[in-house]
Amino acid sequence: MCSKLKNFAMPLIFLGALLFAIVTEPVLPNQLKSVLYAVSLAVKEILVFCLPFIIFALVVNSITKLGSKALKYIAVILPLICTSNFCNTMLSYFTSRLCLSGDWFKNSADATTNALSPAFTFHMPSIVSNDIALLSGVIVGLILGITDIKRMAKIGICLDKITTIFFKLLIPVMPIFIIGTMLKLQSDGILVSILENYLPILIVFVCTSFGMVTLQLALLSKCNIATFIGYIRNIIPALVTAFGSMSSVAAMPMSIKGAEKNVRDVKNADIIIPCTVNIHLVGDCFFIPLVALSVMATFGLEMPTLSSYAIFALHFILAKFAVAAVPGGGVLVMLPIMEHYLGLNADMLGLVTAIYILFDPIITTCNVAGNGAMAIIFDRVVNTAEK
């Protein structure tokens, strides 16, 4: 029982943070709430300052691994992953516009006049933009992957260790970031009304994301019921592992085994699953934009136009190469992108982060299911190309 609870430690911690904000906000001194809110903003400033360097390191390491493990397939893998991520991100936009136009989702961000202010301000300079970090990481990663020089590949390993240390230091302070933000929202009188709106969002996410993966598997099986059921049965162990661990990496051995049963050529499963485990994230592509746009509607912001959202989607899918394999890693690297291209402020980003981590088991399960479908697609494309 204790080991099972450990698997859900992060969602429980963030659920505790939400309950703490709701229950204790009326009795906490304003000065303490103000300090906690200021600390929350400081954590966000540090994260935004470090992220360009972390994005560069993660992108280099990710593409280096892709090139060294599946060099001759890179021309197939990258377009498939980018196309899938982009289409799912755009589909999330149309789903959001359709759902948020209904009467069930109402603007509930009418804050009180006594808004909570931070006790102090802490700003860090912007040295390198995320765009430059992404582009530089892609270029360096491709060079390292294509050249396949062992000494240069060690750079990727070193960068991986640096990012691992960074996230190990970051994760323990994330509850403080969330608590401060939630206290701000509760103090302003809008937290409870906001949370009431997000159960329908979860239902919409489950229906659209898992529905899309199910449709893909049905089409790949050519609507053969026996084949379709076989696809599902083979990936169920990976889905259960993903739900319990909140980690696509932890589920990777089971994902490989399931994919090997679903593809024609076993070696294709051994190539595609490790390559997609951290960068092909169907659940993230659906959930993060859906929640971000819902938060914008909650706070009374105008929805982005299709063209402006498409620009956001392009940066969004590039940032997928910088996602870390830690609980909440899928949303952390997206915070500056949502801030810059969607206009979310610190309070909104904190809310998106909290909601994401609370639903992380379901999101990760969807990611693993999407990778199971991608393995079959990759196998079909490669086999067709080799004929």
205-256, pLDDT tens digit by residue? 888 889 999 999 999 998 889 999 999 999 988 888 787 666 676 677 888 8
Indicate the number of domains in the chain. 1
The 3-class SS string of the chain reads CHHHHHHCHHHHHHHHHHHHHHHHCCCCCHHHHHHHHHHHHHHHHHHHHHHHHHHHHHHHHHHHHHHHHCHHHHHHHHHHHHHHHHHHHHHHHHHHHHHHCCCCCCCCCCCCCCCCCCCCCCCCCCCCCHHHHHHHHHHHHHHHHHHCCHHHHHHHHHHHHHHHHHHHHHHHHHHHHHHHHHHHHHHCCCHHHHHCCHHHHHHHHHHHHHHHHHHHHHHHCCCCHHHHHHHHHHHHHHHHHHHHHCCCCCCHHHHHHHHHHHCCCHHHHHHHHHHHCCCCCHHHHHHHHHHHHHHHHHCCCCCCCHHHHHHHHHHHHHHHHHCCCCCCHHHHCCHHHHHHHHCCCHHHHHHHHHHHHHCHHHHHHHHHHHHHHHHHHHHHHHHHHHC
Q: Residue 324 is part of a domain; what is its CATH number?
A: 1.10.3860
Task: Provide the residue range defining the domain that includes 128.
Answer: 2-386
Q: What is the pLDDT of residues 248-300, one digit of tens each?
A: 766 778 888 889 899 888 878 877 887 777 788 898 999 999 999 988 887 88
What mean pLDDT is predicted for residues 24-43? 85
